[in-house]
Chain A
Amino acid sequence: GNSVTQMEGPVTLSEEAFLTINCTYTATGYPSLFWYVQYPGEGLQLLLKATKADDKGSNKGFEATYRKETTSFHLEKGSVQVSDSAVYFCAQRDGTGGFKTIFGAGTRLFVKA
């Protein structure tokens, strides 16, 4: 079945460092891909999305490009802030089994001042 694999955390960075969180997916079709962010005590919020190959999603300095050839959707940010500390989830969604969104295991990011 469809699945999402993302790098294990926690990832600890200093402020202004470059961030990459790796995400790969397996799918029978061509899903849409998403990154969500979860701050402590809150629900997940959509960070960005891409709906077809070579699309780049971006928001708040974060970017991810839909790479069909490597089935990847890695999240990047050029300069992280302490306020970016959260858990990041990669996800896919397609018509398999009724349009359910399948999430990766989440990657916790800690940013130190």
Chain B
Amino acid sequence: DTAVSQTPKYLVTQMGNDKSIKCEQNLGHDTMYWYKQDSKKFLKIMFSYNNKELIINETVPNRFSPKSPDKAHLNLHINSLELGDSAVYFCASSPEQGPNSPLHFGNGTRLTVT
């Protein structure tokens, strides 16, 4: 009965490779997000989709490309991985876009680029 699930949990890869992280939510939420958490635990929003439409696109290198095939899924593809991409990536969802809407997080994908 996992609410927001991400795969894989760990990802170790070399510089220059391309990798994807998948996210699925079974909560029926309309809005999904990708956040990046650095080694000091700081969380920064990367993207947000509402009903498959991109609504937030922060200053993120265009090597990062989100894709939402339907409102229950939001995947993140990263091209030409760099050392600085090492972080924990969290997928999240919320019932709606409104200000009172809390986020529901997955357990994260720890990406290590060597």
Q: Which residues of A contact B (CB under 8 A)?
A: 31-32, 34, 36, 38, 41-46, 49, 51, 87, 89, 93-95, 97-103, 105-106, 108
Contacts and interface: CB of A to CB of B under 8 A. Distances in A.
B90 A93 contact: no
B105 A43 contact: yes
Interface in B16-64: 31, 33, 40-43, 45, 48, 55-56
B107 A43 contact: yes
A41 B97 CA distance: 27
B42 A105 contact: yes
B97, B99, B107 pick with most chain A CB within 10 angstroms: B99
25 contacts: A31-B99, A43-B4, A43-B105, A43-B106, A43-B107, A43-B108, A44-B92, A44-B103, A44-B105, A45-B105, A46-B104, A51-B100, A87-B41, A89-B43, A98-B97, A99-B99, A100-B33, A100-B45, A102-B45, A103-B42, A103-B43, A105-B42, A106-B41, A106-B42, A106-B43
A49 B45 CA distance: 20
Contacts of A42: 107-108
A84 to B, nearest CB: 17
Contacts of B108: 41-43
Contact of B102 (A41, A43, A49, A89): A49
Given A95-B99, A98-B56, A100-B48, A44 B41 contact: no
Given A43-B105, A105-B41, A106-B41, A97 B90 contact: no
B43 A99 contact: no
B98 interface: yes
A42, A43, A89, A95 pick with most chain B CB within 10 angstroms: A43
